[in-house]
């Protein structure tokens, strides 16, 4: 294998530290060349830069004009530029480097130390930073991203008949999403970076009043979290299935061929379900594992994935409704806001009281972050569907060996390809073979000092020996959502295959993204290998009121599937009670 992949970036000299933290949630697999360059290099990353500049923490001239150093791609894997992110801790009075590191890494032992650079301090930016912080701490509604939600929903509704478009029209339709993606990610970068502000301030307040669980509890049950919405809708569908003998029998027969079997039925229940399912796919078909990567299947392209999740959700009892769970958390949150407010008032410190109130408002950045993320995914999906059609027709025409080879194009090769597709046949096939090998590599969690190990030195996934936990072992992670639950550990590595997950099981996952959200409905608790205070697993667990612990290193390897474990979401401890599912 070559030392570098064809779309790899050069490492930044100015900001030389990178991490897979959070990036592993967004793009867990190697990006395809087309997916990376079309949607990331030439759209999303530029929007990321624009959002950082808009937040006041950076100036435009600090970034490379072609590949802004907010991220990096190495071995096809996306990395967040850690050194660049840390500027927010250096330059902003609202958050420290230590708080940022906790939000990203949850105390990971290998985090590179911060070493000051002469260009880090930027007193000239303080006025803009202050203005932005004022906005963060006073804004409960953000009409701009609400309008972007309307626009991306309209984009899906206005999708043309892709099969009827010429190649050039397909490409034009896909390219129309690039400026939209840049603008959408500009919006996303603001709450993405701002989401750490409220937890950081609340952590300090929690220490002041002697209650370290305050930050977790006060960012739970916020409501209106877009990434949780598909879960609520799937829950409603699951109740409809349970209420119908015909639908129950259809699901009992398995999800393979389910939609075809229902389409052959003349019953009202089948017709109603199919109509509701069609609406669900229109609204949420862009979601799926690895949904930011254009080459990945989603619920629209492979509906069996969502049906499998629905099949698991229907096993939960009615009283486990996510609406009920969220309401309980929301009620607890409102009560705790008043309780902490009273304790803060006892200090007689008006500045502390004002900071507390500002932090409560700033928790809205968490739901803003999920809305902007959902908006982006919708736009990525429209480009995906256009290129899938291009791949389909050129496979049928014999110009490429298989439809997946379309994703091996570079952005600059799209127009030359449609002009002379046959000239790319072997090149794309060869790239696809090499790209598949990248999937077997374990990317370094950190890249430090700009040193990217050659790909030949990257270990194979699963090659490291990890000792399995035994009864009595306590694994320490980062508290995610408070609460204690004891149950059966169920290791789930693929959200599209949740068949082993029974109602009330504790889900053990490598990372989670919105495609995992509906699985939370069937879970009694969640444990995740990696993640920080603003990771997806925590946000959704807080929304649904599930005990959650993240950053339990190698949890999916250490915790035996079927073991009885206890999860304490307040302390971050996962205790193995027994490895055979019994309790002593």
Q: What angle do CA 53, 59, 63 make, to 5 degrees?
A: 95
* End-to-end CA gap in the chain: 51
Choose between 226 and 104: higher pLDDT.
Answer: 226
Burial class from Cβ neighbours inside 10 Å (0-12, 13-18, 19+) for residue 518 reads: buried
> Considering the domain boundaries, does residue 557 fall inside one?
yes
Mean pLDDT of all residues belonging to the chain: 92
> Considering the domain boundaries, does residue 74 fall inside one?
no
Choose between 536 and 235: higher pLDDT.
Answer: 235
For the segment 255-283, the average pLDDT, to the nearest whole number, is 97
> Considering the domain boundaries, does residue 573 fall inside one?
yes
State how far the Cα of 361 lies from the Cα of 575, in Å rounded to an integer.
Answer: 35
pLDDT at 393 over 80: yes
- The pLDDT > 70 percentage for the chain reads 98
Residue span of the structural domain in which 548 resides: 474-578
> Considering the domain boundaries, does residue 512 fall inside one?
yes
> Considering the domain boundaries, does residue 550 fall inside one?
yes
pLDDT at 284 over 60: yes
Q: Check residue 106 and give its pLDDT.
A: 61
Q: What are the pLDDT digits (tens) for 434-456? A: 999 999 999 999 999 999 999 99
Residue 65 backbone dihedrals phi, psi, to 5 degrees: -70, -25
pLDDT at 583 over 70: no
Dihedral sign from CA coordinates of 241, 246, 252, 254: negative
Within 466-572, where are the H helices? 517-520, 536-544, 555-558
The lowest-confidence range among 200-204, 299-303, 394-398, 557-561 is 200-204
> Considering the domain boundaries, does residue 502 fall inside one?
yes
State how far the Cα of 250 lies from the Cα of 221, in Å rounded to an integer.
Answer: 35
For the segment 5-13, the average pLDDT, to the nearest whole number, is 97
**Residue 44 DSSP label:** I
Of the pLDDT bands very low, low, confident and very high (cuts 50, 70, 90), residue 125 is: very high
Of 375, 382, 381, 380, residue with least CA distance to 145 = 375
For the segment 237-245, the average pLDDT, to the nearest whole number, is 96
Number of domains in the chain: 1
3-state secondary structure of 96: coil
The domain spanning residue 561 has which CATH number?
3.50.30.10
Q: Check residue 65 and give its pLDDT.
A: 94
> Considering the domain boundaries, does residue 508 fall inside one?
yes
In sequence order, the β-bridge partners of residue 573 are 476, 568
CB 220 within 8 A of CB 333: yes
Dihedral sign from CA coordinates of 352, 353, 356, 358: negative
pLDDT at 526 over 90: yes
Q: Check residue 584 and give its pLDDT.
A: 52
pLDDT at 102 over 80: no
Q: What are the pLDDT digits (tens) for 156-197? A: 999 999 999 999 999 999 999 999 999 999 999 999 888 878
Which tokens is 478 given? 């980062």
> Considering the domain boundaries, does residue 552 fall inside one?
yes
Q: What are the pLDDT digits (tens) for 32-73? A: 999 999 999 999 999 999 999 999 999 999 999 999 999 999
**Residue 444 DSSP label:** -
pLDDT at 107 over 70: no
The lowest-confidence range among 98-107, 293-302, 515-524, 560-569 is 98-107
pTM as predicted: 0.90
């Amino acid at each position: 294998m070559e030392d570098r992949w064809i779309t790899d970036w050069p490492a930044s000299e100015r900001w030389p530290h990178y991490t897979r933290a959070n990036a592993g949630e967004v793009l867990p697999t190697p990006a395809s060349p087309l997916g990376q360059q079309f949607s990331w290099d030439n759209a999303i990353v530029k929007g990321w830069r624009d959002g950082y500049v808009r937040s006041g923490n950076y100036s435009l001239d600090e970034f490379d004009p072609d590949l802004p150093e907010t991220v990096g791609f190495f071995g096809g894997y996306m990395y967040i530029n850690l050194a660049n992110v840390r500027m927010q801790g250096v330059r902003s009075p609202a958050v420290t480097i230590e708080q940022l590191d906790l939000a990203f890494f949850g105390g990971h032992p290998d985090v590179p130390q911060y070493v000051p650079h002469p260009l880090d301090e930027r007193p000239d930016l303080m006025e803009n930073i202050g203005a932005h912080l004022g906005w963060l701490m006073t804004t409960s509604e953000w009409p701009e991203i609400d309008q972007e939600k309307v626009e991306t929903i309209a984009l899906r509704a206005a999708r043309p008949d892709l099969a009827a478009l010429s190649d050039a029209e397909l490409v034009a339709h896909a390219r129309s999403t690039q400026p939209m993606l840049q603008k959408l990610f500009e919006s996303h970068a603001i709450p993405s970076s701002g989401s750490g502000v409220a937890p950081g301030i609340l952590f300090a307040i929690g220490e002041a009043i002697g209650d370290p669980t305050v930050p977790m509890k006060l960012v739970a049950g916020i409501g209106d979290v877009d990434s949780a919405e598909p879960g609520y809708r799937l829950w409603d569908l699951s109740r409809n299935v349970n209420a119908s003998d015909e639908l129950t029998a259809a699901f009992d027969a398995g999800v393979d061929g389910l939609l075809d079997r229902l389409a052959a039925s003349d019953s009202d229940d089948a017709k109603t379900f199919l109509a509701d399912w069609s609406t669900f796919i229109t609204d949420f078909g862009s979601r799926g594992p690895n949904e930011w990567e254009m080459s990945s299947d989603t619920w629209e392209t492979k509906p069996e994935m969502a049906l499998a999740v629905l099949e698991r959700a229907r096993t939960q009892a009615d009283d486990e409704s996510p609406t009920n769970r969220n309401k309980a958390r929301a009620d607890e949150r409102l009560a705790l806001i008043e309780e902490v407010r009273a304790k803060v008032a006892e200090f007689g410190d008006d500045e502390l009281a004002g900071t507390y109130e500002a932090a409560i408002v700033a928790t809205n950045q968490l739901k803003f972050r999920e809305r902007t993320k959902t908006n982006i995914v919708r736009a990525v999906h429209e480009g995906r569907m256009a290129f899938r059609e291009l791949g389909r027709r050129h496979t049928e025409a014999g110009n490429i060996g298989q439809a997946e080879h379309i994703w091996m194009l570079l952005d600059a090769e799209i127009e030359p390809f449609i002009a002379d597709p046959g000239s790319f046949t072997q090149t794309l096939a060869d790239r696809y073979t090499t790209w598949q090998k990248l999937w077997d590599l374990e990317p370094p969690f950190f890249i430090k000092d700009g040193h990217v190990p050659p790909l030949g030195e990257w270990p194979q996934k699963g090659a490291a020996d990890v000792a399995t936990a035994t009864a009595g072992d306590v694994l320490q992670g980062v508290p995610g959502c408070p609460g204690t639950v004891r149950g059966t550990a169920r290791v789930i590595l693929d959200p599209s295959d949740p068949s082993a997950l029974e109602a009330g099981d504790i889900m053990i996952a490598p990372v989670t993204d919105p495609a995992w959200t509906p699985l939370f409905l069937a879970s009694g608790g969640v444990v995740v290998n990696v993640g920080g205070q603003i990771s997806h697993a925590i946000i959704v667990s807080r929304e649904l009121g599930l005990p959650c612990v993240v950053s339990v290193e190698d949890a999916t390897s250490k915790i035996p599937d079927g073991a009885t474990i206890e999860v304490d979401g307040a302390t971050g401890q996962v205790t193995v009670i027994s490895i055979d599912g019994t309790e002593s």
